[in-house]
Structures are given as structure tokens and as C-alpha cells.
Structure 1
Amino acid sequence: MTVRGGRIALCCTIAGLTTVGALTPAAQAVEEPAGGDDAVVLELTDADGVPTDLASGLQVDGAVATDELDVPEFSVAAVTWDGLDAPDETFSVRVRTGGEWTPWAAIEPDAAETGDVGGTEPYVVGGATGVQLRVAAGDGDLPHDLQLHLIPPEPSGEETVATTPRETAQLAAAAAGRASATPETAAGQDAVPAPVAATAASPEVAAPEVAATQARAAVSRPRVTHRAGWGADESKMTWTPRHDPLRAAVVHHTAGTNSYTAAQSAGIVRGIYHYHAVSRDWGDIGYHFLVDKYGQIFEGRAGSLDAPPGRIPEAAHARGFNRGTLGISVLGDYSSVYAPDSVLTTMARVIAWKFDAADIDMSTPSGMISPGTAHRPAGQNLPRVFAHRDVGATTCPGNNIYARIPRLNEQVATLVDGDEYHLRNSLTGGEAHLAFRLGLSTDEVLVGDWDGDGKDTLALRRGSTYLVYDAHPGQRFRTVRYGRPDDVVLVGDWNGDGKDTFAVRRGRTYHVKNSMTGGDADHVIFYGRPADDVLVGDWNGDRRDTLAVRRGADYHVKNRIAGGDADVVLRYGRPDDVVLVGDWDRNRTDTFAVRRGREYHVRNSLSGGEAQVVLTYGKAGDVVIVGDWNGDGRDTFGVRRSG
């Protein structure tokens, strides 16, 4: 990079390719002022894509790079060029923060549908005073008007094209101190509200229209810092709002570091706003909402908080999918860093709040069709919550969030349409020992010890797909596919290995599987009659579950997975009883209990007679499930209650 003609420019030649090169010593250092609010732009090529000067390149891992630049403090860095098509060159950046240089990080093109300026995703940092840009060779033609933007936490409405190091420092120093000044004391500036962090210790500012929306919605509105709260300069907002029916949500992350503080998040949001609205000329920030690693939520696109129920402003976050989608972005880079579960929970709350107001059916896909990417085939009907990389040539939102998009979908579904589960660890009445929400109201719920830890948990069935949870309340699950959507499904430990698996019943034919995988059954047997009610239990204590069929008040119990006559025949209860199976007394054999409304009559032996335990639990309309919820060897009741 050299100084020529009053501009900072950089270039070099590699194998006949003219591309970005190194700073000369004269332009290496830019005196760092005490503060500044002008976004500094370093011009790399002119309007024709020609580097403004020639210099020898600094080689870094087969690419070329600038020298390490000392610059005024910034919170967002990005590269732009003329035109919307992404260049063949690839860009990487590293920054100096806290006296240390970060590793190199790629910044990918961030596609837009309108405007004349292409650019990368924003690279965010809590505050950096050094930067180095690296460019890998493309097709030999550099983009026109290639520029590096460095945006401070308190950007003004202007972007300053750096000329010489001295002039750059003077321009930035002219605004020294304004970043820390209050609105009332900042000379020469319009007063704007001080940023508000949405934490438990700070009050949240909410628009009256939003409060009305919350009253209509079953899912409560999370704490969100609106635009005035984080200090949006509304003079930059030149976009005309247009609302569309909400159909889906698209998940993003920004590039950059994760080493920002909670107090710096609002400044990062202001920097992204300036980059999108001014540098990219979008007229507003591209995302509807932004979430930081501390759980703070910021309103992005104007009108996102107080949009009419069921509608969302058109934004600029996923090319071809900006209408009818909610764009939500996490501040930071989660390509290799694990995003805290609390971040996904926060995103789920925002999405669920908007989805609930839109009355979105989470049991159906979005109706938006994948255009075909490296991560999702063309023609696929996208789920209600999907990732930016599902519809664009990008790695956003990073591998460590992308792998958990199915879980995020389930979290949203649970908040919007999940039923309540109340589990009790003893055969007595009283309050539940564990209560939570999970799944969809249309799910079939199965209970089993799927991982052999001695505790029963839930699986949610949707046709031939099963979401298997190994803990409750569940967040993480395995997806298993088995059988046909119209099969009757049974659960048991068929081979005595301590793990429950599935069997499917088709009339009087049973297909038994000994592992939680797809494929052919391990056993196929014929038993009973097609109209029989079928129960599963370990009737003789050999640690293997087998079948029993019920015909009214008569029970035909079999102690092997085989056809033939029953080993035990008994009569118990009434023909219209709801019958449950469990090991109620911890003697390692299963017996029956019958339910009559809220009353449960429990028998501890496979024989007729009076119940040994009678108790009252739950509500008459509850769906009852049975399991050993705490691993003490005793089965007890749980209820599923419509949320």
C-alpha cells in the first residue's frame, strides 16, 4: 500500500495477477486519536478496478496482505466493491484488540438484492486499533471501487476516505471525545437516547403498540432493546417499510471475534447499522433482530418490534428470501466456537413470539423452496426455521449453530405449540416433581429408557420420524426413522440389554427392532387378534419386555416374543377402564393399574382382586404416561396436558 494522489491504495502482482499488496513504511502507521466517529474507508482500487499504485506484495500463506495498520478504534470492519456480484477474490482479516492480534478470519460476501454496492458480512469486534487485510487471488480482475471500511462504535453519518496518515489522524481526532460524550454534552450533534442494555438491572423501553401485540399473543414478548435504546441515528434510515405475512425465520451470525463485553454490544449494532444503511446503501440495518452472547436482544430493521401481528417488514438478510422471513443474527463468529445454549434459547424466544402472533403451524414446513446450496438440495421445502447457508453461498451461521438448527426449530415449536408435562416420582397425589413443555400438540408421545441409564424419558413421533430425548426437560435429541406413518408403535426392552427400542404392529403382525436405527426388524411374530388392545411389560422379571393382549377385562400375557398361547390369563378391572402398565413396587415385574377419571387403582400382582394402591392425581382431561422418571426402579405417573 502506498500513498498517491491523496488516497491510500494498495496493490501488487502475482503471476500476472494485479491484486492487493503491502503498505510502504511511510503509510504503515496511522496516529491513533483519542476517539472518533467517522467511518474510515481505505480505497484499494479505483472506479475501473485499477490499483492506485504498485508495490511489492507481502506474502502470507500464499496470499497477499497489507501491513499491520494502526488505525482509530473501530467495532466493525468490512470490504465493499462496485456491483452486487461477488468477486472471485476471497478476503480475510485479523485485528489487534487488547494488544493482541487475532487469528486470520475469512469474511464472506453478503449478497444483496438491490443497490449498487456489493460487500462482505460485517466483521465485529468489541474494539480494535489495528487491522490487516489479506486477499487471495481470483480471476485476475480486481473489483471496481474495492474498499475496506472501519466503523467506530459511534459512527457519524459520514464516511471519510483516508488520504495520508496525518490527514486521517486529523479527521478522526476532530471528533475525539464524542464517543464518550452524552447526548446533552456532545457539541454540534443532535441528541439521541443513550444506549440501553437489556439486562435485569436496566429497564426496557417498549413501544405502546408492542405491548398491545403481547396481550394478544400466548407467547410473551422477550426483553428487547429497541432502536432508540441502542442509539440508532434515524437520519440514516432512508428505506421505505413494506410488510409481508410472516412464514419463516432465517438464522445468521456476523463474522468477527467473540471477545466483546455486554456494554460494547450496542456500539457493535450501531456499527452494523452504519455499514448496512450507509456503506451498502440499503437505507437500514439488514436484520430484524440481533442477539449477543449475553442474551441481550436488539431491534434491527425499523418497525420490527411494532409490526402488525402476523406480518414482518421486508429486510435485507438473505437474497431471494427477504420477504416473509424474520432475519435474526448472533453477534460473533461461531464457525469453530460453540454458541452457548442460552443464545439459541434467546433466539427461540424471539422467533416464537413473532410466530405465535402469526399463528404459524409449526407442524408444517414453511412453503419456501431451497434454491440448491452446498448444504441443502434444490427443491426441498424448507422448515419454519432455517439457516442462511440453506439458501445462499455462505457458511453463515457457522457450523456450531448450523448443527443445532433442528433443535432451535423444536425449541420454537415447543414455545408456540408445546404441551405441558407434569411428572411425579411417587405413587401419591400432590404437585409434580418436574414440569416442562415439549414438542407439538399433534405429536404422539412414547416413553422409554433409550440410553440405558435407568431413567425413562420421552420420544416424540411424527409419522415415521422420532425425536428421541435422553434427558428431561429435553433440549437435545436424536432423530430416528423407522416403520410407516400409519403403524401402531410399541416400546420395550425386547432383548434385555437395558435399552428400550421400537416395535411396530400391523394387525396381528409385530416387527420388533433391537436398536434405535432404521432397517429391517430383528424379529417378526404373529400374536393375538387384529382388534386386540396390546400392552407391553416385563411380566416375569427376566428383564425382557413381551406382549399382553386385552379383550375387555380379560388379559392374555405372553412371556416370550413368540406366537402361541398365553402364559397367564387373568381378569382385572372393568372393560371401559384405561389400563396402564408399570413396576409399581420395585419388584422388577410389571403389573396393571386402571384409571377412572382422576382415580388410579394399582395392582402389584398379575391377578384379579382389589387394588393395593388407590390415588387421585392430575385432571380428568389429562393424557397419562408411565415411567421411572428418577431412576429409583419404581414406575410412577406423569400427565400430558394441552398447553
Structure 2
Amino acid sequence: MRRRLVLPLVLLATAALAPGALAPGALAPAATAVEPGPRVERVALGEVPTARDATREVRTDRPFSMLGVRWSGAAPDEVAVRSRTDRGWRPWTPLEPATDRASEPLWTGDARTAQVRATRDGRDVTAELQLIALDPGPAPAARQAPAAGPGGRPPVVERAGWGADEKQTTWAGQATTTRAVAVHHTAGSNDYRCADSASVVRGLFHYHAVELGWGDIGYHALVDKCGTVFEGRRGGLDGDVIGGHALGFNHETFGVAMLGNLEQARPSPEMLDGVARISGWKLDRAGVPADGTVVLTGQGGSLHAAGARVTLPTIFGHRDVGRTLCPGRFGYAALGDIRARAAAAQHPPAQDPPAEEPPAEEDDAAQQAL
């Protein structure tokens, strides 16, 4: 059974995610691996000295802006990391599991030093972890493809627009149908600028495609706190392909991820609107009402057994089908708002036809001229 990686001592903020605002397998040996595009350093923490508080500190050779961890054996009960910037140490942040062998990544911004701690059954197991420090490299200036007219696809930053390295896309693709939308949060930091969103997506792409071995990013679409929508998995917008976002329920679902940790902060109205627009459009293409329900069959490995038939809203939260906090307490509480917005986008209110003007009265002079 997959355990939740939650650190009880972390205080959860309840501030809104204001757009653009800054918020306060076997392990490889310790080595630096330089890869085309993103730069990655992988450090076996068993080779790093332990401090008295059971933390292990790593200073990387080059700056990083995203962190993740892998482990051998059973998953730790708790994993948390923090990074140091020019302004000092950032708060400890718990990492949620992405798989049974690795955590979700955390966006840190520009940093060179990280600390990690992990426990299982109250015992320090940090030595079983490998730290992944990632610099996704500069992303191109994100440009949205325009909306495709009334009822068409909303504006989206396509893969080329955020700099997807298609040489790393090794997933061949598998067709499915779309009957529901699964909403996620990326469980990373809320401390990113909207100008950094394309780099965050680049980092997630590399982490999923290469570090987790999925061959592509798991989500079909991603939305930042300014409401910008990014294309995710190749072929997943205008087509219907299986994602890698909800174990046991990747078939027949479209995965949308909100960039940030919505266990700690409320989603902005712009973020909710972006999620609703892309979700409503995708479901509308499939003839599915955004405020309806659907029965999905579990494939196993999740909260529901293989073959279980589960009734869900057509826009549901990841935690409804998985052993996870995703999409966070504030993200989950916003699902009703997302459904209402998506349904409204599917069925915009009809506009009253313009009132007919009464016929102009002809004056006496005009009558006399006829």
C-alpha cells in the first residue's frame, strides 16, 4: 500500500495564490550527470554526512530549480526537503509520492543547497534516498496558440511554446476515449512567477519522461496561477491518448494539473478559470456534460480494486481514485466551482436577438414626392 508522504510539522498557509506574486529502483552512485537540455545532478544520500537532526545537506556543482527524490525498498512514511537561496533557507516542504519509488518534484527557484530528511516507522531512512537536483534550462518565451473561435479550443501554450525536448519523448502513445477529467495539483512550490511557468513545465516534463521513465509528461494539460494553459502529453489535446496521471484510472480520463501546492494555498480565480475552460472544452468535444457523472472501471493499483466500477463526477479530484492528498485540500474544495464554470463554458447563455426597430414614419413631403 502506498503511504502518503506528509510531514505533520509543516504549517499550511491559507493565503490565496495571487497571480504573479511571490510567496514567502537501486540508487545510482553519487555522481553528476549532464544531459542534453536540462542539467541533472543525482546524489546518493547514503554517501552524505548526517547532521544531528538526521538531515542530510547537499551543495550541488551547479544551480538547480527543481528537486525530487527516489528511494530503494519500501516508501518512507515522511519525506521533506528545503532549499537555500540568497535570501536564506526556505521552509521545509513535504513531498508527495509520484510512484512507489519516487516523489513528486518540488520547484525551488534558483538554489544550490538542499537538505533532506525521511523517516519510516519513526526511524531515519534518509540514507536510502537519492536526491535529484534539476535545472530545466531556459524556456522560450511562452506564446499561446490563439483560441479556435466560438466553441473551439481555448488559448494554449503548445509543447514547442514551452520548449519540450521531443528527443526525450519515448512514449509511443496509446489511444483511449475521454469520459471524465481528473484534476491534480503538482504538489510543488507556490513560489514561482508566471514568467517561470514554462520552465516549471519543462522541469516536470524531464522529471516524468526521464527520471521516472514514463517517456513523456503525465498530464494532458497544466494551468498556472495566472490561468495560462500549457499542453502536456503529446497528442492529448486534439486527440485522446492515455496519460500517466492517475494510476488505475488513466484510461478514459483527461488529466489537468494546477501548478502549485493547493494543500497550502487557495487556487486563484484565474487558475480555476483556466482549468474550467480546458476541461469544459475537452468534455464538450466528447459529448460529456461537465456537471454530470460517469462510471469508470478501475485497472488496479489504486484506491479501488481492479474491475471496480466507480461512480464519479465527470470532473473529479485525483484523491477520489488514488491514495493521495492531490489536488490538495483547497484544490479539492474548488472542484464544485470548476464544474460550474466548465458547464457554463459548455452552455453559454443565449444572447437575445437585437430588438427590431419600428418602421420609420414617412413625412408628408416624402409622400407627396412619390
Q: In structure 2, which of residues 80, 84, 88 is the aligned counterpart of residue 96 of structure 1? A: 84
Q: How does 1:3-18 map to 2 (within 5 A)?
A: 7-8=29-30
Matched, 1:135 2:145: no
CA contact 1:91–1:135 (8 Å) conserved in 2: yes
Q: 125-134 or 292-301, which moves further after superposition? A: 125-134
1:333 lines up with 2:323 in the alignment: no
- The correspondence for 2:203, drawn from 268, 271, 280, is 271
Partner of 2:75: 87
1:75 aligns with 2:20: no
Which structure 2 residues correspond to residues 91-130 of structure 1 after superposition, within 5 A? Answer: 91-111=79-99, 118-130=101-113
Q: Is the 8 A contact 2:217 2:233 kept in 1?
A: yes
Structure 1 residue matching 2:312: 3-state secondary structure = coil
Q: 2:323 aligns with which of 359, 383, 393?
A: 393
C-alpha displacement of 1:144: 9.9
1:313 aligned residue (231, 241, 258): 241
Please point out which of 237, 251, 271 is paired with 2:169. Answer: 237
Name the counterpart of 1:537.
none
Q: Tell me by how many angstroms 1:352 deviates.
A: 1.1
More helix by share: 2
What SS does the corresponding residue of 2:141 show, helix, strand or coil?
coil
Please report how far the alpha carbon of residue 305 of structure 1 lies from its aligned counterpart in structure 2 after TM superposition.
Answer: 3.0
2:284 maps to which of 338, 350, 356: 356
Q: How many residues align?
A: 321
Q: Note the 1:518-597 alignment, pairs <5 A.
A: none
User: 1:42 is matched by which residue type in structure 2?
Assistant: V
Supply the distance in 2 between the matched residues of 1:259 and 1:98 (Cα, whole angstroms): 15
Pairs within 5 Å for 1:190-269 = 195-198=140-143, 204-205=144-145, 214=148, 219-269=151-201
1:39 alignment partner in structure 2: 40
Task: Pick the structure with greater CA Rg.
Answer: 1
Residues 127/292 of structure 1: CA separation in 2 closer, same or farther (3 Å cut): farther
Secondary structure at 2:284 match in 1? helix
What is the TM-score with the length of structure 2 in the denominator?
Answer: 0.77
Kindly provide the CA deviation profile for residues 176-219 of structure 1, in whole angstroms up to 9, marking residues without a partner as x: xxx5xxxxxxxxxxxxxx62324xxxxx347xxxx8xx57xx63
**Aligned partner of residue 256 in structure 1, secondary structure:** coil
The separation in 1 between residues aligned to 2:354 and 2:87, in whole angstroms, is 59
User: What is the one-letter code of the residue matched to 1:58?
Assistant: R
Rounded Cα–Cα distance in structure 2 between residues aligned with 1:363 and 1:352: 9
Contact 1:111-1:318 within 8 A present in 2 as well: no
Distance 1:56 1:91, change over 3 A: closer
1: distance between equivalents of 2:55 and 2:351? 57
Tell me, yes or no, if the aligned pair for 2:104 and 2:187 is still in contact at 8 Å. Answer: yes
Q: Once the two structures are aligned, what percentage of the paired residues are identical?
A: 37
In the TM superposition, what is the alpha-carbon distance from 1:415 to its structure 2 partner? 1.3
Q: 1:249–1:385: 8 Å Cα contact kept in structure 2?
A: yes
Tell me, which stretches of 5 or more residues in structure 1 are unaligned? 1-5, 10-29, 31-35, 45-50, 113-117, 155-178, 180-193, 199-203, 423-428, 432-597, 599-615, 617-643
CA separation of 1:57 and 1:333: change in aligned 2, threshold 3 A: same
How far residue 153 of structure 1 moved from its aligned partner, in angstroms, is 2.3
Q: Distance in 2 between matches of 1:269 and 1:417?
A: 31
What residue number does 1:415 align with? 345
Matched AA of 1:73? P
What RMSD, in angstroms, separates the aligned Cα atoms of the two structures?
Answer: 3.3
Change (3 A) 1:196 1:353: farther
* Alignment CA distance shift 1:135-1:76 (3 Å): same
Partner of 1:65: 55
SS of equivalent residue, structure 2 residue 67: strand
Does the aligned pair in 1 maintain the 2:136–2:199 contact within 8 Å?
A: yes
TM-score by length of 1: 0.46
- Of 265, 274, 278 in structure 2, the residue corresponding to residue 346 of structure 1 is 274
Partner of 1:151: 134
What letter corresponds to residue 106 of structure 1 in structure 2?
P
Tell me: CA distance 1:255–1:98, structure 2 relative to 1, closer, same or farther (3 Å): farther
Tell me how far 1:285 sits from its aligned partner. 0.6
CA gap of 1:306–1:195, structure 2 versus 1, over 3 A, is farther
Q: Aligned AA for 1:69?
A: R
Task: Write 1 or 2 for the structure with the bigger share of strand.
Answer: 1
1:124·1:255 contact (CA, 8 Å) conserved in 2? no
1:605-635, CA deviations, whole angstroms, 9 ceiling, x for partnerless residues?
Answer: xxxxxxxxxxx9xxxxxxxxxxxxxxxxxxx
User: In structure 1, what is the Cα distance between the partners aligned to 2:316 and 2:203?
Assistant: 26
| CA separation of 1:273 and 1:93: change in aligned 2, threshold 3 A | same
CA gap 1:141/1:102 in 2 versus in 1, 3 angstroms: closer
Whether 1:383 and 2:313 are equivalent positions in the alignment is: yes
Distance in 1 between residues matched to 2:173 and 2:293, nearest whole Å: 27
Give ranges in structure 2 of 5+ residues lacking alignment. Answer: 1-27, 359-370
Once residues 71 and 255 of structure 1 are traced to their aligned partners in structure 2, the CA distance between those partners, rounded to angstroms, is: 26
Change (3 A) 1:379 1:234: closer
Partner residue of 1:366?
294
CA distance in 2 between counterparts of 1:302 and 1:56 reads 42
The alpha-carbon distance between structure 1 residues 404 and 124, as it changes in their structure 2 partners (threshold 3 A), is: same
Q: Is the 8 Å Cα contact of residues 38 and 206 (structure 2) preserved in structure 1?
A: no
Cα 1:402–1:347, aligned 2, differ >3 Å: closer, same or farther? same
Contact 1:58/1:67 (8 A) holds in 2: no
Q: What's the offset of the Cα at 1:70? A: 5.4
Q: Give the aligned residue type for 1:66.
A: R
Offset of residue 330 of structure 1: 1.4
* Aligned-residue offset at 1:287: 0.7
Deviation track 1:341-368 (CA, whole Å, cap 9, x = no partner) reads 1100111001111111111134531212
**Do the aligned partners of 2:104 and 2:188 also contact (CA within 8 Å) in 1?**
no
